[in-house]
Structure formats: structure tokens, C-alpha cells
Structure 1
Amino acid sequence: MKVLFAAAECAPFFKTGGLGDVAGALPKELKKQGIDVRVVLPFHTTMAQEYQEQLEDVVQFEVKVGWRNQFCGLKKLVKDDVTYYFIDNLYYFDRPSLYGFDDDGERFAFFSQAVCEMMEKIDFIPEVLHVNDWHTAIVPVLLKDKYQWIKAYQGIKTMLTIHNLQFQGIYGQLVLSDWYGIGYNSFHEEGLKYYEDVNTLKGGIFFADQVTTVSPTYAAEIQTAAFGENLEGVLRQNNYKLSGILNGIDYEVFDPQTDKKIQGHFSLDDLSGKAVDKALLQKRVGLPVEPNVPVMSMVSRLTAQKGCHLLQEKMEELMQRDVQVLILGTGELEYEDSFRYFTARYPDKFKAVIDFDVTLAQQIYAGSDLFIMPSAFEPCGLSQLYSLRYGTLPIVHETGGLKDTVIPYNAFTGEGTGFSFYDYRGEVMLETIDQALTVYYDEPKVWQSLVKQAMREDNSWEKSAAVYIEHYQSV
């Protein structure tokens, strides 16, 4: 089966979040499972030089963006047996970052049309074209509207994966002609029309053959007003083709036995290296090296969505407990400043590292005892999967993928891989933290059992990729 996977970002070339992780790991696993998968991305010039040096030119052509004729170069690189194509246009993609520009809509309109037009040029006509988020969500619309006359394209099926429903690609209706060179055929209630504007994600939901999102619980949540971002009705209307497939993580990269970013390697059979990692982590961030005091960490964007306000609200009370708290991330100034304040006020118990540091993040997953994710909503979440892999027990709010991946501790049966709370209030979060600390201090054998149960969980892409393949086959 031939699959073309289109995304705006992809690790290790360039990424800002979960979409980049998925685009980096899923195609690699699909290839291992026998799918002829190729990936197409924008050529963001922020790509590391080591990868730029491996690029080879494939073909050059022009793409009409409304009335403009824009140059399009196609570059290619093969990594881990996967072929990656990069759409090259310096006017659109020679930027200091991936997103956040006034012309983002036009940039990804160009990219979406370039994806459609490149398939004939490289003689790769997929059976399934898998698009991701608003950046490429209009591709299923374009295939049925603008490019339906190309006979080779008429059998292509499409899948749209929603990684974050908050971003939808909403623009004035003039973009139909100005960017896409199309009329009003697709501008209706069961298409691109969103009030008086164009909504590319909405169009993709209606026109794609399959719509997926990144966890079963999030698939249900986004059909409600609380999580639907004004598209809950659209998603309910299309729920016959909507499903949630959990993200996985790359078990080759995130492996406590071989991870080059940590010094103490460990496994289910020998956990001694985890104590080494904890001591090194405490030393690196400037916390007292105390092996018997639990370290509770967070690696996150510092925003209200990630639950930073709950931590901020309860931090004074939490600091009365026998625990060390470590936070790594950047984000909203209010939380950065607040966590700096707690660092100064409680130097032996609290440390905030206001930075983006991939190596330190790995060391945190490996060296912590607890990992807190009190997100208001979380489509899937990856940090809790990393922490499970490294035997660090998550404390999570029961939402989205957090609910699907963390089994709450049951004191009667001994089951569990972490701790969770449903009622989204600071005092409930604090009660859950207290429950975890009680088990840590009073029931060390139970704690060790939970650590091993967490590490036994299979959150690899191998399992998730098999589900994607089933969906490809079903369309």
C-alpha cells in the first residue's frame, strides 16, 4: 500500500510540538510494517545543516497561488528507510520559526497545492493521502474540487488527523480565489463555509474519507461544547468516520537501557541506575541530593491549558510537604515569573528552569519519582508516555489521552501506573499528590510494584501504527 504523509513539521528536521513527534515516528514504523510511505514537508530553512547537506534536488515547477506563479523546488532525503520530500520556496519558508507570521494562511495554501501537484511530478500516486491539522486539511477539498479532473488522482483516499482542534485555519472567503484559484463549489455548510469565512479544518473534516484524532477520549470530548472549539456539531455530524488512535513514542530513542542523554541506565530487572539519575538530576539543577525525598517534575509549556494555575495556586501548601518540585519549560510570563519567585523562596525544595532543553528533559523523565500533568485538556500528551517508560509515575488530570494512558492506582487491587483526578480544582490535585506521597513514604513495596507496572506498559508506535494501517485498509 502506498501512503503519502503530509505535515507542517517533523522531527528531527524541525518541530514545535506533538505533530512534529508524530510525523517523525509514525511513518518510520509504518515502513517497518510494510507500508510504502513517503513524507512531504515544507523546506523550513531552520533545518540543521547536517540534514541540509544530505538533500538532493528532484524537480522544479511552478505552483499558482491565486494569481501568483510561485517557484516550487522539490528536494529529497532518505532517513531510516523513509523517503522525505521537502517543498522549497524561500519566500514562504525561509523564516526564523515555523509559524506565527501574518501570511501563514498563504504559506500553507501554497504548500497544500504543491503537495497535490508534486504527486504526478514524482510518479508517486498514493492510495491514501494522510494530512495533519489545519495546515494541510484543505488537501481533501482540493482533490475533489480543483484537481478532480486529473484521472490518476480520482482513486486517492484521504485521512485527516487532528492533533489540536484549537487551530483551524480561518480566513475571509476571498482566499478561495486569491490563494487557491477556486470558486464557491466547496463553500457551503458541509464544506469550507464557517459563518461568512473559510475554515480549512472544517472543510477537511467534511471532505476527508477518515478523520482521526490522537486519543479515544479526545475523539469523544471534541464532540462536546466544552472541547469542540465551535466545531462540535460538525464532528458529531461526521462521527461515523471519526476515531481516536493513541499516539505512541519511539522506543528506540526513549529507552532507559540505552539512552545516551542519561548516565544511569536501568531496566525492569535492575532499577539501580534510576537512583543514579535522580542524584545527578538533583545535583544538576541545584536541589539537595536527598535519595529518600521524592522529586516531582513537570516538563511543559507554561500555560493555563497545562494547569500551571493549579500549581501556582497550591504551591505554598505543597512546599509544606516533604517533596522536591522541578519545573522545566517556557511560556506565559505570569507563570515564568511566579515559578522564579518560588525558586527564590524555597531554594531547597523548588527549582524552575525557564528554558527549552531536550537533554535536561530526558534526564528529568529518568531521574524523577513523580511527573505531574494537570492539563485542562490534552489531546494525547507525550510526556506522560515518556515518564511511564522511565518508571516515573504520572499524576494527571483525567482528560483526553491522559485518561487513556494512565491507569489510576487502586489501593485495593494494587493495579495502576500512576495517579489521577477528575474534578479540575487545585485542592483535588493536591489531594492526589498527597495520595502519591503517602504511597511513596509508607508503602515502598507497592511503590516499586507501580514503577514496574508503568514500565511494562506498551506505548510504542508499533501498536499504534498497526491501528493506522487498519484504518488505511478500511478506506
Structure 2
Amino acid sequence: MTAESIRVLFATSECAPLIKTGGLADVSSALPAALTRLGVDIRVLLPGYRAVMGRLSGAREVARLAATPRFPHARLLLAEGPGGVPLVVVDCPELYDRPGGPYQDPSGADWPDNALRFGQFSRVAAELSGVRSPLGWQVQVLHCNDWQTGLAPAYLRLDPDATAATLLTIHNLAFQGVFPPQVVPQLGLPPESFSPAGVEYYGQMSFLKAAIRFADAVSTVSPTYAEEIQREPLGMGLQGLLAERRGDLEGILNGIDIEAWNPERDPLIARRFGIRSLDSKRDNKWAVQQRFGLTQDSDVPLLAVISRLAYQKGIDLVLEAAEALLALPSQLVVLGKGDRDYETRLLALAARHRDRVAVMVGFNEELAHLIEAGADMFLMPSRYEPCGMNQMYSLHYGTIPVVRATGGLVDSVVNCKPETLSSGTANGFVFDVASTEALLGAVSRALEGYRNPGIWRALQVAGMRRDFNWDASARRYLAIYTRLAKAQEPNSE
């Protein structure tokens, strides 16, 4: 079986640049494009949120799905998605034409009918993957992503005529799509499905558990995270089921868009540079200091954080360590938004140290590129990190990551120590315990390296030489698709 013969429907609730709240959107844009380059016949399925409908061009209606007693009618629109990948949009204004984000209203509260909204999306994904698909295009593998698509494998399992195989990718196990048991019949699931062997999750029902239970294969976004979620605490109540399915579970490290994140061609930074022109990186540091009103000093190390401001990301550790970090000495720039308490405390820190700390609440793509290019070190003290992308951006830009040993951070950052320096693989600093003391210890070790130009340049070069493009990851997914499609053939054993 060749790549060209495999037909894949990639169901996702986000796809950059059309709609984005996190890394899922970047994956949903880049991975299908990489798979297309390998010859896979892939189409992306996306809800028709207001923001998505406003950005579509050249869309045409290709099918209509009639209303059922449980779900409203929907139109299917076909358009060209990111990277030229065909995009199928579920136009259902009753569920998706709303202000706010994909999952929450403008005030930040979850939409009360999210079970119905993503039950409908899962139903459409399953219907398009069935033998009666209105697309006239027979899906061999339905690739589901996170809880928002989680009921699709269950719906297909209930269809006696279904032939498509299913793959679930878990991008973050913390988001599980948990709802009251009353929604089970509303979603068209049989009563017997509400059991520990089905969709029941500690007295509630979980979209994500349904997907883990009924998908033919499960993947997640880094090898280390695939191991971590099979035990407490990162299994988050699903560790038993995931351990049970370990033979079907695979960790594949995400890639990054090396065209958008390339310091040699990046139009968003002050001065472009590469391995042979690393001294030019200093101009970007000056640009960051100037942009944020920090003291312009090329010798003082500039530390950066670009993150969702959340407990998971270890922002409390940065706050607790801040005064000690500044006394090293160092400067700190933070870009992100999230928990209001963290935002307030970070802004207060910046007010106390106007020449050494800068905080911008929000996300800004241009500033993110400039900060990655100008910072000396990038802090990621995450309590858990399924994959993480900023550490890979940092490595590409000669910015040394200081990270906690978890998830994809373990799989991409090689701790600096004598043996890794000797082998030329060291590219960052890693600490084990999620504590202020451990973070400070790692930054102190990094500062020792910073003060040794030879060591620091070796770390930068090793990081910039790492290849994080999507091709290798796409080939791993293609291998899963091929295996699943082959298993669905009538004569397969």
C-alpha cells in the first residue's frame, strides 16, 4: 500500500491561521500539509465557527446533512486550507456562529452546550468516514484530535457497516470533555455505553475516554509524554486505560514550521542571523531591550518567557524566583496571558523593576519572534508539557532553553554536562523538581555557561543544528495510517 492510496480525514477543532487557542491549531495546519507532501490524500474537517467562516474564500457547498432528533442540520463547505490541503467546514450556525472563542463565550465561560456542539462535530466526522458518506470519497483512516472529536470513534464502533479505522492523537490529557451523564442519551449513545468499559468517567461521561477506549490506535505528541500518561499524576484518572492500551499507544514528537521560524529569513526580527553569523543575534537583544524600555546592556543575560500564564506552565515558580533571578543579575521579559492573578503579579513585578523586567499581557506573533531572536535564555519550568514548541523555536534561534524534565522538553532539550558537551549534543539546561530552588539552580548553571563564550557558542550551535521539521513526524504518522488501513482490508488477518 502506497501513501497515495491512503485517504485520511483529519478532524480537528482548531487550525491555524483560521482559528487558534493553542498548539493544536499549529499541528492541524502543519501536519496535514507535511502528509500531503508525502502523497497522502488527506482532508481537514473543521467546525464553521464565526471566525472561520469570515476567513474562508472560494468555499462551495458539497453536501447537506439532515437534522436528526438530537442534532441540527448542517452544510458541508469545501475550501482550500493551509498549505493547499482541502478543508471541509461544518457550517452549522446554530452551534458555531457565535462570538467568543471555539469553546468559551466572550466572558471566558464554557458554552453550556459544548457536549452538543462537539457531539455534532464528532457525528459529522463519523458520518463522513462511513460507507454512506455524502462526499463520494471513502475514508480509510479517521484521525481524531483531542476530546472535541472524541465521540467519533464511538459512533463508528456502533455502526455495523463502518470500515474506516480510527486514530486518536492526545495533545493534552488535562482537557477531557467531561459532562453530566444526562448527555449520554442526548448524544445518541446507547445506555450500556455509560459504564467503566465505555464512556463513564468517575460518575460523569468523558469524550476523551470514549476516544481512548474505542479508537483503533492512540498517539500523543512526544515519546516521554506517552510514558508519563500511563501513570499518576499525569494520567489524570485515565492512566489505567492508557496502560491497558500501551500496545496501541505511540508518542511522536511534534515538529515546527521551519519556514516561519528561521532566523536566517525571519522578516519579524531586527536582524537576521544563522550559525555562521551568530554575533548578529546581539542586535535583536538590543531591539528587545529598546522595545520594552529595559537597560540596554549586551552583557547582562536576558531571560524570556512566552507562555500561557498557568500553573501547569510553572509561572508561579518564575514569580517566586524573580527577585533572586534579577539579583544574579539578569533581565526578564514575559509575553503571555492567562490566570488573572499571575498577570497582576507579573505586572506588579515589572512596575517595581522597570529597567529590568518587561511584561506584555496578551499574545503577539511579531513580538514572539523578536523575543526568541533576542533572548539569551528561555525559561520553561512546566509541571507537565505534552510537547512544547517554544523550546524548539528557542533552539532554532540560538536561545538556550532552561526547562523542567517533562514530556516533549525531555525529548528535545539535552542537558548540559561534561559528557554531552564532549559529544556535541548539549543544547540546554534541564532540572527535575518543580521547585523555585531547582529553577534557580538550573539558571545559575546556565549563567556559568553564559560566562564561558566557548561553551555558550557550542550550546547555541548544537541547538540550531537540530532538525525539528515536520517531515520525520509525518512519516511516523504515515506508518500508523498504513498499518491501520491495511488491517481494515477484507483479506487482512
2:479 aligned with 1:470, yes or no? yes
Cα displacement (A) at 1:19: 0.9
Aligned to 2:12: 7
Aligned to 1:22: 27
1:88-107 aligned within 5 A: 88-95=91-98, 96-99=100-103, 100-107=110-117
Cα displacement (A) at 1:292: 1.9
- In structure 1, C-alpha distance between the alignment counterparts of 2:113 and 2:43, rounded to whole Å: 27
Cα displacement (A) at 1:47: 2.8
Cα displacement (A) at 1:412: 4.7
1:159 to 154, 167, 185: 167
Cα displacement (A) at 1:242: 0.8
Residues 3 and 359 of structure 1, relative CA distance in 2, 3 Å threshold: same
Q: CA RMSD in A?
A: 1.5
8 Å contact from structure 1 (residues 190, 203) kept in 2: no
Residue identity in the other structure for 2:61: D
Residues 123 and 185 of structure 1, relative CA distance in 2, 3 Å threshold: farther
- Larger deviation, residues 452-461 vs 275-284: 275-284
Residue segments in structure 2 that go unaligned for 5+ positions in a row: 1-5, 104-109, 485-493
Aligned to 1:384: 391
Cα displacement (A) at 1:449: 1.1
Aligned to 2:60: 56
Cα displacement (A) at 1:6: 0.1
2:294 aligned with 1:287, yes or no? yes
2:74 to 67, 72, 75: 72
- In structure 2, C-alpha distance between the alignment counterparts of 1:462 and 1:241, rounded to whole Å: 22
Aligned to 1:393: 400
Aligned to 2:137: 124
1:269-418 aligned within 5 A: 269-414=276-421, 415-418=425-428
Cα displacement (A) at 1:164: 0.9
2:206 aligned with 1:199, yes or no? yes
Cα displacement (A) at 1:185: 4.4
SS in 1 for 2:438: helix
SS in 2 for 1:387: helix
- In structure 2, C-alpha distance between the alignment counterparts of 1:342 and 1:223, rounded to whole Å: 38
Residue identity in the other structure for 2:156: L
2:456 aligned with 1:447, yes or no? yes
After TM superposition, the score normalised by the length of structure 2 is: 0.91
Residue identity in the other structure for 1:301: R
- In structure 2, C-alpha distance between the alignment counterparts of 1:412 and 1:161, rounded to whole Å: 35
Residue segments in structure 1 that go unaligned for 5+ positions in a row: none
* Superposed CA offset, 1:265-317 (max 9, x none): 11122224312211111111111221222211000011111111111111111
Q: How many equivalent pairs are there?
A: 465
Cα displacement (A) at 1:411: 3.1
Cα displacement (A) at 1:413: 4.6
- In structure 1, C-alpha distance between the alignment counterparts of 2:376 and 2:67, rounded to whole Å: 53
8 Å contact from structure 2 (residues 72, 94) kept in 1: no
- In structure 2, C-alpha distance between the alignment counterparts of 1:161 and 1:382, rounded to whole Å: 17
- In structure 1, C-alpha distance between the alignment counterparts of 2:449 and 2:217, rounded to whole Å: 44
Residues 169 and 340 of structure 1, relative CA distance in 2, 3 Å threshold: same
8 Å contact from structure 1 (residues 63, 113) kept in 2: no
Cα displacement (A) at 1:40: 0.3
Aligned to 2:3: none
2:260 to 247, 250, 253: 253
- In structure 2, C-alpha distance between the alignment counterparts of 1:17 and 1:263, rounded to whole Å: 26
Cα displacement (A) at 1:177: 2.1
2:49 to 39, 44, 51: 44
SS in 1 for 2:417: coil
- In structure 1, C-alpha distance between the alignment counterparts of 2:267 and 2:420, rounded to whole Å: 36
Aligned to 1:238: 245
- In structure 2, C-alpha distance between the alignment counterparts of 1:16 and 1:369, rounded to whole Å: 27
2:147 aligned with 1:144, yes or no? no
After TM superposition, the score normalised by the length of structure 1 is: 0.95
- In structure 1, C-alpha distance between the alignment counterparts of 2:38 and 2:428, rounded to whole Å: 31
Cα displacement (A) at 1:148: 2.6
Residue identity in the other structure for 2:135: I
2:185 to 177, 186, 191: 177
Residue identity in the other structure for 1:279: W
- Larger deviation, residues 34-43 vs 255-264: 255-264
Cα displacement (A) at 1:48: 7.6
SS in 2 for 1:271: helix
SS in 2 for 1:41: strand
* Superposed CA offset, 1:114-139 (max 9, x none): 22224511112221110011111111
- In structure 2, C-alpha distance between the alignment counterparts of 1:333 and 1:124, rounded to whole Å: 47
- Larger deviation, residues 18-27 vs 114-123: 114-123
1:435 to 409, 426, 445: 445
- In structure 2, C-alpha distance between the alignment counterparts of 1:17 and 1:178, rounded to whole Å: 29
- Larger deviation, residues 167-176 vs 325-334: 167-176
Cα displacement (A) at 1:224: 1.0
Aligned to 2:85: 82
Cα displacement (A) at 1:467: 0.8
Residues 337 and 61 of structure 1, relative CA distance in 2, 3 Å threshold: same
Residues 243 and 412 of structure 1, relative CA distance in 2, 3 Å threshold: closer
8 Å contact from structure 2 (residues 314, 434) kept in 1: no
8 Å contact from structure 1 (residues 63, 114) kept in 2: no
Cα displacement (A) at 1:472: 1.4
